[in-house]
Amino acid sequence: MSEPVRRELRDHGVLVLTLDRPPANAIDEGLLESLEAACEEAASDPRVRAVVLTGAGRFFCGGFDLGSSRRDETATRRLGEIYREAHLRLLELPKPTVAFVRGHATAGGLVLVLACDYRLGVASDWKLGLNEVAIGASFPRVAMEIVRLRLAHARASELVLGAAIYPASEALRLGVVDELLAPETAEATVLRRAARLGAFPAESFAHAKEGLVGDAAARVRAETPADADRAAAIWSADESRAARSRQREKLGMRRGG
């Protein structure tokens, strides 16, 4: 079985990480572990000057896998730990990170987009949103800190509390992407922009980035196990389970196991 995060080192030290877990590149333990390992290796590999994160197929990432088997308390806590560590690795990676969004990015998938320093989207028919509230999911602290770090408060409130799904044409207004690119030139533009960022003196870039993301990362690390358990418990509330059951029905999904 292939890795759920593919790695390809391109010209000028640009490492392309492609989420590849069909059909929606949904988040589970395997994808998170693969992403964390890829980020750890990228941070220590002197050949890598910048990282591009993208998704295979029609999705960048569709968020948590709602079709996975129900986890017990131990497995749920472990998933939370893996989620936190993988996102911190991406957020704090001491090299430029560029999200290349050419497919749907919803819920936790959009959080992965926002964890990147620079975000470029394709002007096409993909959709985006933070619809956790609508499906009875909670935001892990690391996810909320990433949202708060990247988005203006009014836009974060619109996305988080409104829990709507938007067309890609709204991505600029919402602050999710820095630019929407023409489909025919998008990939070349993304690689060129990543190479430009990667050409900066590495120590200078890493120090400046730490200054921008360090406070948010520190708040994540200050989370207690009790805090994490309270957030995880929201998934088990009756209304939350009913909302996710309706969502699975809407998507034609079955719970695994």
Catalytic residue of the set 36, 92, 132, 145:
132
3-state secondary structure of 53: strand
Q: What is the pLDDT of residues 47-99, one digit of tens each?
A: 999 999 999 999 999 999 887 777 877 888 899 999 999 999 999 999 999 99
Tell whether pTM > 0.75: yes
Kindly give the pairing relationship between strand 97-101 and strand 50-55: parallel
pLDDT for position 134: 93
Beta strands in the chain (DSSP E): 5-9, 14-19, 50-55, 59-61, 97-101, 104-106, 118-122, 127-129, 166-167, 179-181
pLDDT for position 246: 85
Q: What is the pLDDT of residues 19-58, one digit of tens each?
A: 999 999 999 999 999 999 999 999 999 999 999 999 999 9
Copy the structure tokens of residue 134. Answer: 């609508």
pLDDT for position 1: 58
Q: What is the pLDDT of residues 94-141, one digit of tens each?
A: 999 999 999 999 999 999 999 999 999 999 999 999 999 999 999 999
The domain 5-186 is placed in CATH, from the list 3.10.20.740, 3.30.450.150, 3.90.226.10, 3.20.20.70, at 3.90.226.10
Copy the structure tokens of residue 165. Answer: 């799904």
Q: How far apart are CA 254 and CA 237, in angstroms?
A: 19
Residues 6+ apart with CB under 8 A from 49: 12, 13, 14, 95, 96, 195, 198, 199, 202
Residue 29's Cβ-side half-sphere holds a number of Cα atoms within 13 Å equal to: 10
Please say if the pLDDT value at position 256 is more than 80.
no
Residue 115's Cβ-side half-sphere holds a number of Cα atoms within 13 Å equal to: 30
Please say if the pLDDT value at position 257 is more than 50.
no
Active site residue 132: yes
Residues in the chain: 257
Segment holding 135, helix H or strand E: none
Confidence grade of residue 254 (pLDDT, cut at 50, 70, 90) = low
* Residue 163 region by backbone torsions, left for phi larger than 0, else alpha for psi between -120 and 50, else beta: left
Q: What is the pLDDT of residues 144-202, one digit of tens each?
A: 999 999 999 999 999 999 999 999 999 999 999 999 999 999 999 999 999 999 999 99
Q: How far apart are CA 13 and CA 237, in angstroms?
A: 47
Residues 6+ apart with CB under 8 A from 115: 87, 90, 91, 97, 99, 146
